[in-house]
Amino acid sequence: MTTGTASPALEVRGLVKRYPVKGGLFGGGRVVHALDGVTLSLVHGETLAIVGESGCGKSTFARCVVRLEEPTAGSVLLNGADITRLGARALRPLRRHMQIIFQDPYASLNPRYSIASLVGDAMRLRGISGRKERRRRVAELLETVGLGAEFLDRYPHELSGGQRQRVAIARALAAEPEVIVCDEPVSALDVSIQAQVINLLKRLQKRFGIAYVFISHDLSLVRHISDRIAVMYLGQIVELADTSAVRARVLHPYSQALFSAAPVADPGATARKKRIILVGEVPSPIDPPRACRFHTRCPYRQDICAEKAPELRPVEGRLVRCHFAGEPGFPPMPAQEAAMHG
């Protein structure tokens, strides 16, 4: 699904987030460049995945978008309305349009409250008064996420990880949002439970037309659930493309290495697959490499890569941040093969 004519549910323009580095006698002045000009949008009912390794800024992005953190620059538009400069009071009633689901369901539910009250909170704040009415609606929602009304009076510690994540989803749904940011929603769950939660998220999307920003490091999962994929590296989007296009081929050397590195649950494919092993690790976002941020690890680096920062530009129906993307035969072969295995 591409943007087309539908008005976007969420639009992010040039989002920047920098943190001052604390500590150290001479630590003053050093800055973490967590996000560096991230621009994207998503339409109603769409899933946009954001992938990348630790330090790429994907979690910071999630928190800035729902304004749990204040972006340093740039803007976030919700249904066309800029929410970036709203004060806390003005923002509060708009918050319900955009919800967030966290990775660790053990940390995201207050242990002191029953499920009825945890899920009911969002309804109460939306102005649904009457304890009985809320209880009825919470029971309905619990049914929707595959838990029964018998969970109403239970406490988080009595639930398994998968059940807690369902409660967290019910809580997000209670706000009746148009956008849900899912920050690694299944990576803390057991393998057999992950599929249950993913299926649930997809079902809810179909039923309620919710758009997801789906943040994950699991590339295989991302290719399953998303309509579009954004690959991030050191605070920047390096490639943004339709999932079907990504399945066929990726154009940025980092995307290529990332997807080729992901193990595939198919012993036959392993033998056929050529893997690109990158040297070293992701550089520190405190002092990211100049010009192209990937040039220190890129197998196809040229002189220009260390001199001039590439723009995120349209290439073959997608956006790529690389000087050479679009040149015939770039990036060289192994990527194609690796990315094609399903």
Partner 1 sequence: MSAPVLAVDGLTVEFRTALGTVRAVDDLSFTIGEGETVAIVGESGSGKSTVALALLRLVPDPPGRIVAGRVRLDRQDLLTLDDAEIRKVRGRRMAMIFQDPMMALNPVYTVERQIGEVLRLHLGLPRQQVFDQVVELLRLVGVPAPEDRARQYPHNLSGGMRQRVMIAMALACKPRLLIADEPTTALDVTVQAQVLELIQELKSRLGMAVLLITHDLSIVAETAHRVIVMYTGRKVEEGATAEIFADPRHPYTGGLLGAAKWEENEGNELREIPGAVPSPFDMPRGCSFAPRCAVALARCREHAPALADVAPGRPVRCFVAQEAAR
Partner 2 sequence: MRGLSTLWMRFRRNRGAVAGAVTLGLVVAAALVGPLLYPVDPFDMVGQPAQPPSASFLLGTDVAGRDILAGILNGARISLLIGVLASLAATVVGVAFGALAGYYGGWVDDVLMRVTEFFLTIPSFVLAVVVVAIFQPSVVTVTAAIAVVSWPSVARLARGEFIAQRGRDYVQGCRAIGMPDWEIILLQIMPNALPPVIVVSSLMVATAILTESGLSFLGLGDPNLVSWGYMIGVARTVLRTSWWMSAIPGAMILVTVLAINLVGEGLNDALNPKLRKR
Q: Which residues contact partner 2 (rule: CB under 8 A)?
A: 63, 66, 68, 88, 91-96, 98-100, 102, 104, 107-112, 121-122, 125-126, 155, 168, 171, 174-175
Q: What are phi and psi of 319, to 5 degrees?
A: -110, 130
Site for partner 1 (CB under 8 A): how many residues? 44
Among partner 1, partner 2, none, what does residue 109 contact (CB within 5–8 Å per kind)?
Answer: partner 2
Q: Which is nearer to partner 1, 18 or 341 (CB)?
A: 341
91 near partner 1 (CB under 8 A):
no
Which helix (H) or strand (E) segment is 84 a member of? none
Q: How far is the CB of 220 from partner 1 (least distance, A)?
A: 5
Given 220, 299, 330, 334, the residue binding partner 1 (CB under 8 A):
220
Residues 265-284 that bind partner 1 (CB under 8 A): 265-270, 275, 277-278, 280-282
**Burial class for 268, CB neighbours closer than 10 Å (0-12, 13-18, 19+):** exposed
Given 167, 179, 198, 215, the residue binding partner 1 (CB under 8 A):
198
Among partner 2, partner 1, none, what does residue 104 contact (CB within 5–8 Å per kind)?
Answer: partner 2
Is omega for the bond preceding 267 within 30 degrees of 0, making it cis? no
158 near partner 1 (CB under 8 A):
no
- DSSP code of residue 278: P
The position carrying tokens 């399903």 is 342
**Burial class for 231, CB neighbours closer than 10 Å (0-12, 13-18, 19+):** buried
Q: Give the integer Cα–Cα distance in Å for 302 and 185.
A: 39
Q: Which window, 84-92, 136-144, 198-206, 309-317, contacts partner 1 (CB under 8 A)?
A: 198-206
Q: Give the integer Cα–Cα distance in Å for 166 and 340.
A: 33
Please provide the size of the chain in residues: 342
